[in-house]
Amino acid sequence: MSIIKAENINKTYNENTIPVHALNHVNLEIDRGEFTAIVGPSGCGKTTLLNILGGLDQPTTGKVTISDTEITSMKDSELIDFRLKNIGFVFQAYNLIPVLTTAENVEFIMLLQKRPKEERDQRGMELLREMGIEEKARQRPSQLSGGQQQRVAVARALASKPQFVLADEPTANLDSTSTTQLLDIMAKMNEEEGATFVFSTHDQRVIDKARRVVTLEDGKIVSDEKR
């Protein structure tokens, strides 16, 4: 059963001046538990597609349905709440809150969800343990390596028990060792917790790990390969 359904998505920037068609009649369905990579050259529309799937951006035409809820017709405030409850995000630049410790960063989303403190503490530490950075719980992001920061970001994305996690070029800023470690963790979370991951990438190591590879070119899906 698909949890993400994108139907006939078009996205055009600068409609009134020089139009740029970032996405062109994109149709995509992603099932629960998938580990999907959206790949393609720079400027092919990967990030735009991810932003639209995550409710951060609106398509020019078309609709996105997440578990039977159409998000493209939602108001801004409804979208914020929807994202909080249903979607986890991992960003290329980690985007952790620099003034909070590692543990606080992970707990932050649960706090926004108004989860009880005990649950927050327990889930936060459990995720940090899974990510192999339990001992860094009291350190601030600036005291961690890039790989460690991205693992915190993955833990934060999973903390809210989202329906799926969207990761935009999660390994772009990481070295080879950190990339491997992060991919192993994400694959493990996918297998053990059934977490659904959708990530944009052009990193071959990530593509090799993916169980489904959707290729975009000039805003169109040119191949959709399941392994």
Partner 1 sequence: MLIKIAWRNIWRSKGRSMVVMGSIIVGIWALISAVGFMNGFMVGYMADIINHDISNIQIHNPEFKSDQEVKYVIPDGKKKVNEIRKWTEVEGATSRIIVSGMIASARKGSAVQIRGVDKSNEAKVTELDSLVNEGTYFDGIKRNPILLGKKLAEELKVKVKSKVILTFMDESGTPISARFRVAGIINTSSVNLNEMTAFVLNEDIGRLLGSYEIHEIAILTMPRIEEEVVLNKYNDLFKGDLVETWTQVAPELELLNEMYGSMMYVLVFIVMMALVFGIVNTMLMAVLERIRELGMLMAVGMTRIKVFLMVLLETIFLGILGSPIGLFFGWLMMYYYTTNGIDLSAYSEGLESFGYSSILYPYVDSSTYLIVTVSVIITAFIGAVYPAWKAIKLKPVEALHAI
225/227 Cα distance (integer angstroms): 7
Identify whether the C-beta of residue 92 lies closer than 8 Å to the C-beta of residue 172: yes
Nearer to partner 1, 51 or 102 (CB): 51
Nearer Cβ to partner 1 (85/226): 85
Of 85 and 138, which CB lies nearer to partner 1 in the complex structure?
Answer: 85
Residue with tokens 């927050």: 120
- In the complex, minimum distance from the CB of residue 186 to partner 1, in angstroms, rounded to a whole number: 18
* Closer residue to partner 1 (CB): 84 or 222: 84
d(CA 73, CA 209): 34
Nearest distance in Å: CB 71, partner 1? 13
In the complex with partner 1, the residue whose CB is nearer, 133 or 157, is: 157
**Closest distance of CB 148 from partner 1, Å:** 18
Provide, rounded to whole angstroms, the least separation between the CB of residue 212 and partner 1.
24
CB of 87 to partner 1, least distance (A): 8
Q: How far apart are CA 18 and CA 10, in angstroms?
A: 16
With a CB cutoff of 8 Å and minimum separation 6, the contacts of 106 are 124, 127, 128, 152, 155, 156, 159
Residue 103, Ramachandran bin (φ over 0: left; ψ between -120 and 50: alpha; else beta): alpha
Binding site for partner 1 (CB under 8 A): 47, 51, 54, 56-57, 76-77, 80-81, 83-85, 89, 91, 93, 95, 97-100, 104, 108-109, 111-113, 156, 160
CA distance 188 to 223: 26
